[in-house]
Amino acid sequence: MGNKSSLLLREEEIAQIQEETGFTPNQIERLYSRFTSLDKNDCGTLSREDFLRIPELAINPLSERIVHSFFAESHDDRVNFLQFMRVLAHFRPIRKNRENKLNSRDEKLRFAFSMYDLDNDGKISRDELLAILHMMVGANISEEQLTSIAERTILEADTNNDQMICFEEFCHALERTDVEQKMSIRFLN
């Protein structure tokens, strides 16, 4: 139970997922095996609690935001395998001739931006930035230092002087950052 065989994925499903996400069939089968091992109820979907059983994710200070990203396109409290794969595709390394829409630099930046944009209004406010900083560093830095970091970040990135960071400003602030490398996970074949 909970560890179904990859045989439950039909060839046409694998082909569709491969086309949409850029993962190889072997990677898809491995990730399906991982997905089904997390699916303790054998219902073909994962809950937020299922995600938090992943040890590496449970200890990540941004785990709440990361888990939230899996549910962004879901209209309920469960995520199916295709939704799971779409989110993971953002973390595929970019390789020549294998880039797809989901793992392009632009999509990686959009994904990163969504981690900070807590209210999904298309802008990162000082309070949102502070909330993320609190998640990342906890009590290791004083409130004054965190506020200073948030305010300095807004000041440096906010080119239209509205006291918020829009997606374009976010991209501009990160233009010299190797987002493709920093937002990539090596998925074994």
Examine the domain organization and report whether 82 and 135 are in the same domain.
no
Examine the domain organization and report whether 41 and 64 are in the same domain.
yes
Is residue 189 situated within a structural domain?
no
Encode pLDDT of 6-46 as tens digits. 447 899 999 999 999 989 999 999 999 999 999 988 889 99
Concatenated DSSP letters of 99-151: --GGGSHHHHHHHHHHHH-TT-SSEE-HHHHHHHHHHHHGGGS-HHHHHHHHH
Examine the domain organization and report whether 134 and 160 are in the same domain.
yes
Examine the domain organization and report whether 177 and 141 are in the same domain.
yes
Instruction: Show the domain range for 81.
Output: 9-89
Examine the domain organization and report whether 83 and 34 are in the same domain.
yes
Examine the domain organization and report whether 82 and 114 are in the same domain.
no
Examine the domain organization and report whether 77 and 134 are in the same domain.
no
Sequence-distant (6+) residues with CB within 8 A of 56 are none
pLDDT attached to residue 60? 86
Is residue 56 situated within a structural domain?
yes
Tell me which of 38-52, 94-108, 157-171 is least confident: 94-108
Is residue 50 situated within a structural domain?
yes
Examine the domain organization and report whether 116 and 177 are in the same domain.
yes
pLDDT attached to residue 99? 53
Is the CB of residue 22 less than 8 Å from the CB of residue 97?
no
Mean model confidence pLDDT for the chain: 87
Tell me which of 40-54, 73-87, 94-108, 113-127 is least confident: 94-108
pLDDT attached to residue 98? 53
- pTM score over 0.85: no
Examine the domain organization and report whether 71 and 113 are in the same domain.
no
Number of domains in the chain: 2
CATH number for the domain spanning 33: value is 1.10.238.10
Encode pLDDT of 66-87 as tens digits. 899 999 877 788 999 999 999 9
